[in-house]
Chains A and B, each alone.
Chain A
Amino acid sequence: AQSVTQLGSHVSVSEGALVLLRCNYSSSVPPYLFWYVQYPNQGLQLLLKYTSAATLVKGINGFEAEFKKSETSFHLTKPSAHMSDAAEYFCAVSDRVLTGGGNKLTFGTGTQLKVEL
């Protein structure tokens, strides 16, 4: 079964500092990978996705992630944190092959990002 592990349930950075949120996946074949962000009392917003077109994926709001097969990782980064980045971030994995059973997302446990002045 597929799974993702997000290291660090809480990450705190200073405004202007690098943001690094970690995600490792477990899958027998390279899956599709996604990063979502959730603001309080909101649904999930797609930040970016990896579908094998390129290993470095750029998303919205200045975020990007790099797919590293050798490390089974898909870490999310942003060069300079902004106060508005404070939110919860979820890494998710989906089957690459549509087996006829549908494509559910399996989420990590989330990382709460705090941005301090």
Chain B
Amino acid sequence: KAGVTQTPRYLIKTRGQQVTLSCSPISGHRSVSWYQQTPGQGLQFLFEYFSETQRNKGNFPGRFSGRQFSNSRSEMNVSTLELGDSALYLCASKDQGPSYGYTFGSGTRLTVV
């Protein structure tokens, strides 16, 4: 089985711009979550989608949004980028049921300048 694929791997954007990150989960996985990783804040939960519905949302401003398509692929969008949005954004997918562990992608490294 192919793993979780995130594109692009690296991205450089300017303050005020917006960005869209993409995630293709493992085939058959309908749950997709997004996490932000920074040296200062560590790993923080952004949101989780299941069958195109957002089931859970972390404590991030409304500039951060996401969606999931019928094929379970997911995108997250950050509008009006700030320097503090520079981070590694990780996508993870899992099979149904809370006992299954999430499988993570390699992440998208976003740098805001």
* A interface, CB within 8 angstroms of B: 32, 34, 36, 41-46, 49, 51, 90, 94-98, 100-110
**B42 contacts A107, CB within 8 Å?**
yes
* B interface, CB within 8 angstroms of A: 4, 6, 31, 33, 35, 42-43, 45, 48, 50, 55-56, 58, 90, 92, 97-99, 101-107, 109
Which of A43, A101, A108 gathers the greatest number of chain B CB atoms within 10 Å? Answer: A43
**B104 contacts A107, CB within 8 Å?**
no
Q: Which B residues are in CB contact (< 8 Å) with A101?
A: 55-56
**B106 contacts A32, CB within 8 Å?**
no
Determine which of A34, A44, A95, A104 lies in contact with B90 in the assembled complex, contact meaning CB atoms within 8 Å: A44
Determine the distance from Cα of A90 to Cα of B18 in the docked complex, in whole angstroms. 30
Q: Which A residues are in CB contact (< 8 Å) with B98?
A: 32, 94-98, 103
Shortest distance in angstroms between A63's beta carbon and chain B's nearest beta carbon?
A: 14
**A46 contacts B106, CB within 8 Å?**
no
Determine the distance from Cα of A109 to Cα of B39 in the docked complex, in whole angstroms. 10
Given the contacts A43-B107, A90-B43, A110-B42, A104 and B56 also touching, CB distance less than 8 Å: yes
**B45 contacts A43, CB within 8 Å?**
no
Determine the distance from Cα of A31 to Cα of B58 in the docked complex, in whole angstroms. 19
Q: Which B residues are in CB contact (< 8 Å) with A109?
A: 42
Which of B92, B101, B105, B109 gathers the greatest number of chain A CB atoms within 10 Å? Answer: B101
**B102 contacts A46, CB within 8 Å?**
yes
Shortest distance in angstroms between A5's beta carbon and chain B's nearest beta carbon?
A: 12
